[in-house]
Structure formats: structure tokens, C-alpha cells
A and B are shown apart, each in its own frame.
Chain A
Amino acid sequence: VRETLLEQWLYDNVFQSPFWPYLIVAAVFGLAWISFMLVSAIFSVWLERKVAGRIQDRLGPTRVGGKFGWLQTLADGLKLLVKEDIIPASADRMLFRLGPYIALTGSFLAYLALPFGNGVVARDMNVAVFYMLAVMSTEVFGIILAGYGSGSKWSLFGGMREAAQMVSYEVPMAICVIVPVIVAGTMNLSAVTRQQEGFFWNWYVFHDPFTFAAFWTYFTCATASCKRAPFDLAEAESELVAGFHTEYSGFRWLSLFMAEYGSMFAVSGIASLLFLGGWNTGVLPVDLTVWLGPVLGNVINVLVFIAKGWLLVFVMMWVRWTLPRLRIDQVMMTCLKYLLPISCVLLLGVSLWQLAVPNVVLVYLRYVLAVLSVGGLVLLIFRAATMTTTPPMGGMPGAWGGLRAPGYGLANKP
């Protein structure tokens, strides 16, 4: 039995020897995954600008490529490719050049263990989630090198903050990952997702109170580990110019950005696979490959998985443009005094829960949690949709709803 569907098919029908299927599958997956990562980054950058625009009450890009500014990121990419590649005189040239590529490599390597569908995975590892956390820690090293090698005080501060932040946030993040792993009994992401087949109450986020809390804790730590606001102290453009990438321009700067957006999707993918059912739609009783066959079913599975990943990426953007940046001591305090104890309690709690709680509760609690959460979500969306966006004459919009607009009515006075 070969590892992936494609390899099995090539082995059975074309080659009859393991060598060429292995190489072809490796090349196909390598190309496909890096293309996906880069296209996903391009889309995410466009989305980020639109989301930022909307949240700040403006339009974002509108002109390049038609109505919604679809091609804005491509235009930016072209601009970055032809930009002059500057290396500061005081920089350590080797480290300055290497940093972005190490970051990009670390981010990309994580995709090798990320299953996009049932069997659509480059390497179906037994320790997939552990491997992903491990290679994403390599990305951090690239960022730190970029900060250190620039030979600039802003970059150095950015790199130092990144190092301090990462060494701390890795711990609660890894512990939160262990919580659903304990429930599932395996670190193989494909196996974990196959266990969540069927309707959405089978998702591990609804399994018990501890996994429910672990999802939010994990997502917070993941946001911090992608150095996204409110934890983007390594960049902190209000204090450090641009932090670790102050001195970068052109393609290397692009690589640092691609690495960031790549790892955003990777951590969102882990969250979706461990907690949110991965490629399972959640509204059908079985995996789609059972009904539609391995090819067509997996096409839809992959689309579902990517949609879930992008939804979580969207939430990260939403958070970024809504919350103000923390101070560095607040970032460290959030991790060491809150997230770390919380994750330890969750780990202990889920272990005891598995041992001590009677089976009836285990079976029915997930329905309660799922129905309550989805009901709350539907209610929220309904309220948001029915909210009037245009304030009444003389009134103020949004949170200032009860107030009168200053100066209104002055013109009518005699």
C-alpha cells in the first residue's frame, strides 16, 4: 500500500516499480503545495487590505483589476520583484541574506504534513502535528536572524522581542495541541480528522469543555506565534519603524511576508484539523469520498478545508484590525501568567475528564455544546445582518448609537 492516492494509482497502472511514482509524487506535491502557499498568501494580502479598509471605514484597494481591486497584490508583487535589493553597509551579509529564506523554508515545510483532504497529504506522518510545530519553530529562527543580521537597532529590538515572545508562546501552544491529541489518541492529523467524520457535533471543539477552551487558547497562541497584532511586537511600526524587516526591500521582504502568511494558514489548518473537523463539511453524515469517490469527493473536501483555513485567517485579520497592540511586558504576562496556567489546567482537565466522566455525559454533552455554540453564532450573525448601518438623521453610528451628532441642527437655526 503506497502512501497517497496518486502514488498508488501510478504504481498500479503505469510503472509497477516504486521509484518513479515516489519521485513524481514528491515533485507534484512540492510544486502544488508551494503554489498553494504563495497563491494563498496573495489572496490573504488582498483580503487583509480589504478587511482593514472596511474596519477603518474606508474601501481598501478598488482600482487595479476591476471593481474590488483583485489584482492589487499581483501589482504589488511585481513592484517588489523589480525593487532595488538593498543590503545595509553595517549588516552581516550572510545572515541578512539567509534569514528570509530560512523563514520561508520553515513555513513551507509545515505544509508537507498538512492533510488537505482524505488522503490528500504529501507525507501522512504519524507525528504530523508535532512535526508541524517543530518546523514552524525553524521559521522563528529565520526571523531572529533577519533582525540580528540587519545591523540596525530597530531590527535588533524586533528580533529580540520575537525571540522572547516565541520561546514563551510555543509552550502553551504545544500544550493546547496536546488536548485534542489526548482525546483522539493519535498525533496523525489525518486520523484525528477521520475521527471527526459526520455532523458538526462530532468536531473535537465540542467534545468537552476542555477542548472547547483549548481551541480558543490555541488560537490566541497561534495568533501570537504568527506575530500578528495584538502580538506583533516584533514589527510594532509605531515604535520600531518596521521591526525585524526594517532594512529589507524587494524579494527578501516579500519572502518574509510570504512566510508570515504561509504560517498563518498553517496554524489555522492545524486548528481546523484538530478542532473543527478539517475537511469534513459538518452537515453530512459521512465523508464525501464515500459518496462521490476518492477524486471528486476529495476535490470538495479540499475546498472545504481551504475555506475553513481562510475563515480562521480572516478571524486573525479581524482581530488584528480591531484590537490595539499590547506592550511587550503585557505580551509576556499574557503568556506566562494566563495562557500557560490555563493550558496546563486544560491538559490536566481533559485527562481527568477522559478517565472519570461517565459515558452518558461524554455522548450527550457534545450535542449541548454544539447546539449552544451554533445557536449563539447564528444569533450573532442575525443581529449583525439586521443591524442598521446608516445612522438616523442627527444620530451617531455603531457604538455611539444613543448620542446626537455634534453640531447637528445648527444650520437650521435662524
Chain B
Amino acid sequence: MTLNTVLFWILAATTGFCAIAVVVSQNIVRSATWLLFTLAGVSGVFFLLGADFVGATQLLVYVGGTLVLVVFGVMLTAQGPFVTMRTGAAEWAVSMVVGLIFFAVLVVSVASAVWPERPRRGPADEMNNAEQSMSSTRLGLALLGVREATPAARMTGLPARTGQTGPGHPPAPNVRTRVAYLFPFEIVSVHLLVVLLGAAYLARAKRRRASSAAPLGTGAGVNGL
């Protein structure tokens, strides 16, 4: 039992408990609050693994963006003071089945994956996170294709790794083992930009012809906030 293991189990137990509470609680905003703790727990696991960048992104995108928008939406649309949801028996059944199938898929894939042997570091290095916290540098290098980042398991549809690489095994010059993720990443971000513009286009104030009467709600959009 090292410190990391203890911390992992604390985080994992908290995350699991909060994830169950998300589903069980009937008030939407309470659900969102439990979801906050779940997401924070998951990002805590990322921090524990030394993936600072992923952990911080998780917090920024989901807590600072998505959850705030959820509560904002509830505040804008709710009729009564606190919104509650009633879930019927059929919905419970369907979601249980879907959830169990998904869980089974996860368990099978985790169990069948071949985990690459990592060189055991000495006890003195066990808690040395200075090297681990270079994660954003390594991510950037992988994006640019400088560093090997192809997953070893055949999960993503990417071409499987051909040569043995990793620490101590410099990639052979003739074998194309490196995959740059920069291009797909850029495509995704342009796609998001297009979505953003589309949303702005759909939500824009509709222009009326001058002959029609003054439209309702012109310019009153944010005054009521």
C-alpha cells in the first residue's frame, strides 16, 4: 500500500458514490452537484496519474462550462422553485439494461487488453512527480508527431504499432510508427467552430420587414437578467 494506492481508493470510492447519487437524486440541480463531485473525482484520478493537463481540462470544460450551463438552463426554464424529475419503471428498466451492457463491454475490454510491461522504477522515484507533470509537453509532442503516441491495443481503428518503441527502444527510421494527431485535432476544432457559427446563426434575431409592426421582444433579450 503506497500513498498513491491509498489516494486512488479514496478518490475512486468517492467518485463511485457520487456517480450513484447523480442517478438516484431526483432534483436536477442536486444531480448536477453530485456530477460536480464525480467529475472532480475523475480529474483527481488524472492528477494522481500525473496527467495534469487532462485533469485541468476536465474541470474547465465540464465543471466550468457544461455544469454551469446545465444549472443556467434550469434557472432560465424552470416553472417552479425547484425542479424534480420522476422516472418511471420502464425508464429504470431500459437504462439498467443499457448500463449493464455498457459495463459488461468495459469489463471485457479491460480484462482482455494486454497491458504493456512498464519498467519498475526504484522506490526513490515512486513519488517523484516532477517528470510526470511534463504531461502537456508530451501531449504536444504527440500532437505534432514527434513522439510515439499510437495505442498498443487495437481499439481505436488506427494502424497498429509495427516496431517496438518506448523508452530504450528508439523507433526504427524506416518504419513509419509515428502518427501525428495534429490534423485530426484541427479538423475537430474547425468542426466545433462550424457548430458554434451554426448555433449563432440559428439563434440570431430574425429581421422583420419594415412594414410589419414592431416585433415583440426586440432588444429585451438580456434586460431581464
Please report A residues at the B interface, Cβ cutoff 8 Å: 1-3, 17-19, 22-23, 90, 92, 94-95, 98, 102, 123-127, 130-131, 133-135, 137-138, 140-141, 144-145, 148-149, 151, 156-157, 159-161, 163-164, 166-167, 170, 187, 328-329, 332
Contacts and interface: CB of A to CB of B under 8 A. Distances in A.
Nearest 5 interchain pairs by C-beta: A137-B64, A134-B60, A134-B59, A134-B56, A163-B72
Given A18-B123, A95-B30, A329-B223, A130 B53 contact: yes
Interface string B69-109: 10110111000011000000000000000000000000000
Interface of B: 2-3, 27, 29-30, 33, 36, 40, 52-53, 55-57, 59-60, 63-65, 67-69, 71-72, 74-76, 81-82, 123-124, 126-130, 133-137, 222-223, 225
16 contacts: A17-B124, A19-B127, A95-B29, A95-B30, A126-B135, A130-B56, A134-B59, A134-B60, A134-B64, A138-B63, A141-B71, A144-B68, A148-B29, A164-B225, A328-B222, A329-B222
Contact of B33 (A23, A98, A156, A159): A98
Contact of B71 (A90, A130, A148, A329): A148
B36 A102 contact: yes
Contact of A137 (B63, B128, B225): B63
A187 to B, nearest CB: 7
Nearest to B125: A18
B59 A138 contact: yes
B52 A126 contact: yes
Contacts of A151: 81-82
B75 A160 contact: yes
Given A95-B33, A130-B136, 13 more contacts: A92-B27, A92-B29, A124-B130, A126-B135, A130-B53, A141-B67, A144-B68, A148-B29, A148-B74, A149-B29, A163-B72, A164-B225, A170-B64
B71 A144 contact: yes
B33 A137 contact: no
A332 B224 CA distance: 13
B147 to A, nearest CB: 15
Given A2-B128, A127-B52, A22 B137 contact: no
A160 to B, nearest CB: 5
Contact of B225 (A131, A133, A160): A160
Contacts of B134: 126
Nearest to A23: B3
Contacts of B53: 126-127, 130
Given A126-B52, A126-B53, A133 B60 contact: yes
A141 B3 contact: no
A11 to B, nearest CB: 8
Nearest to A151: B81
A159 B81 CA distance: 14
B36 A141 contact: yes
A151 B223 CA distance: 22
Nearest to B61: A134
Contacts, number: 131
B29 A145 contact: yes
A218 to B, nearest CB: 17
Contacts of B128: 1-3, 18
Contacts of B81: 90, 151
Contacts of B69: 163, 167
B46 to A, nearest CB: 11
A22 B3 contact: yes
Contacts of A167: 65, 68-69, 72
A229 B68 CA distance: 22
A4 to B, nearest CB: 10
Contacts of B63: 134, 137-138, 141
A1 B68 contact: no
A135 B59 contact: yes
A94 B63 CA distance: 19
A125 B133 contact: yes
A257 to B, nearest CB: 21
A164 B222 CA distance: 10
Max count, chain A CB within 10 A of own CB: residue among B30, B59, B135 = B59
A140 B29 contact: no
B137 A140 contact: no
B18 to A, nearest CB: 12
B133 A126 contact: yes
Given A95-B33, A131-B52, A329-B222, A145 B130 contact: no
A164 B59 contact: no
A90 B81 CA distance: 9
